[in-house]
């Protein structure tokens, strides 16, 4: 049987990066990982906000229906709370 030699036959033959190259590599990998983590956090925040928008939309629709049942089909001034009957626009 033929003996298979390892690519590196001893630790002395292993080459190393310079300290500057190693520092640069470590810095870039660290920054890359940090950005990936932040992107994941942003996606989680986005998901939570979209969920909250859905809940608020449902609550707003429920409130609008309750107001319509109480006051009829009206237009409400959101700044003052005053309202007036809704006028249907007539097409010419």
39-77, pLDDT tens digit by residue? 999 999 999 999 999 999 999 999 999 999 999 999 999
Instruction: Using pLDDT thresholds of 50, 70 and 90, give the confidence band for residue 87.
Output: confident
State the chain's maximal CA–CA distance in angstroms. Answer: 98
User: Does 5 reside within a domain?
Assistant: no
Full domain range(s) for residue 53: 19-85
**pLDDT tens digits for range 19-29:** 999 999 999 99
User: Does 92 reside within a domain?
Assistant: no
* Count of structural domains, the chain: 1
User: Does 47 reside within a domain?
Assistant: yes
State the alpha helices, DSSP H only, in 1-92.
19-71
User: Does 14 reside within a domain?
Assistant: no
User: Does 6 reside within a domain?
Assistant: no
Cα end-to-end span (Å), the chain: 98
Name the pTM for this structure.
Answer: 0.63
> Judging by beta carbons within 10 Å of its beta carbon (0-12, 13-18, 19+), is residue 76 exposed, middle or buried?
middle
């Amino acid at each position: 049987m033929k003996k298979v030699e390892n690519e590196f036959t001893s630790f002395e033959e292993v080459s190393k990066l310079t300290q500057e190259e190693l520092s640069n590599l470590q810095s870039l990998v660290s920054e890359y990982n940090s950005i990936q983590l932040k992107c994941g956090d942003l996606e989680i925040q986005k998901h939570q906000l979209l969920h909250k928008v859905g809940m608020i939309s449902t609550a707003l629709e429920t409130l609008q229906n309750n107001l319509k049942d109480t006051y009829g089909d009206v237009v409400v001034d959101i700044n003052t709370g005053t309202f007036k009957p809704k006028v249907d626009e007539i097409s010419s």
